[in-house]
Amino acid sequence: MSIDPLSEAKIVDAWSRNATPWTIAVRERQIESRRLVTDRAILDATLTASPDSVLDIGCGEGWLARALSAHRIHVTGIDAIPALIDQARQAGDGDFRAMSYEDIAAGRLDVMVDAVVCNFSLLGNESVDGLLGAVRSLLKPGGRLLIQTLHPLVACGNHPCQDGWREGSWTGFGAGFSDPAPWYFRTLESWLRLLADSGLRLRELREPLHPQTRKPASVIFIAQPADGSLPSRI
């Protein structure tokens, strides 16, 4: 479905309006796929890398930062929505900063970490391209990028399986939401090309399954700078 060229701004506007119901939905564990599969999937994938420091890009109200801090990992959380950063700061267990993806792409983030995590937070097109282009500069030697996102096989729905903007939906997220954010659909091929174009090499691909439908609840990409020494494992 065609979405107008202001879609990137619409993403930020929609999440700003829905910061409060989102915080409630996450903290009360109202979203089934997160409760059953995806929260644990990204936490386990991140812990597998044994990082001492993590940058959580699109951290929202800070649930992942709190979960990682319980494992004595230092977390810096970044989000473009000030209201969500306020919620994360109030809950504690991290260094939280309100910052846009364009700010990070421009080199305005002064951290280097063992792992960068983007958990269902790469919703745009140009903003995501720019952000991933900056990831190499944020990683310490041997560091990893972890991306969890909608699995293209499932998220494609009845639409053609091709890149493009899609209308969003809050179905299954609980009460109080309005005006869902648009998001940019990428095929699996496009995700892999984007990683390569950003100077990153896929090391591992995970497909967490929903325990009831037995379909992928998400896909997790684990990548490293292309000049790393570890072999790929897909």
pLDDT at 128 over 90: yes
CA-CA distance, 80 to 126, in Å (whole number)?
A: 15
More confident residue, 6 or 176: 176
Bridge pairing between strands 200-206 and 219-225: antiparallel
**Residues 187-201 as b or e (16 or more Cβ within 10 Å = b):** eeeebbebbeebebe
| Mean pLDDT of the 96-111 span | 96
Evaluate whether 180 touches 167 at the Cβ level (below 8 Å).
yes
Phi then psi dihedrals of residue 125, to 5 deg: -115, -80
| Mean pLDDT of the 93-101 span | 95
Q: Whole-prediction pTM value?
A: 0.93
pLDDT at site 6: 67
pLDDT at 67 over 50: yes
Q: SS3 for 131?
A: helix
More confident residue, 161 or 224: 224
* Residues facing 205 on adjacent strands: 221
CA-CA distance, 13 to 183, in Å (whole number)?
A: 13
pLDDT at 114 over 90: yes
CA-CA distance, 53 to 76, in Å (whole number)?
A: 8
Which single residue is written with the structure tokens 């915080």? Answer: 23
User: With pLDDT > 90 as the criterion, what percentage of the chain qualifies?
Assistant: 87
**Residues 48-75 as b or e (16 or more Cβ within 10 Å = b):** ebebebbbbbbbbbbbbbbbbbeeebbb
Q: Quick one: pLDDT band at residue 7, thresholds 50, 70, 90?
A: confident
Q: Work out whether the CA dihedral 163, 209, 11, 224 comes out positive or negative.
A: negative
Length of the chain: 234
pLDDT at site 227: 77
Q: Quick one: pLDDT band at residue 76, thresholds 50, 70, 90?
A: very high
CA-CA distance, 16 to 69, in Å (whole number)?
A: 26
pLDDT at 232 over 70: no
Please write the tens of the pLDDT for every residue from 179-226.
999 999 999 999 999 999 999 999 999 999 999 999 999 999 999 999
What topology is assigned to 7-225 in CATH? Answer: Rossmann fold (3.40.50)
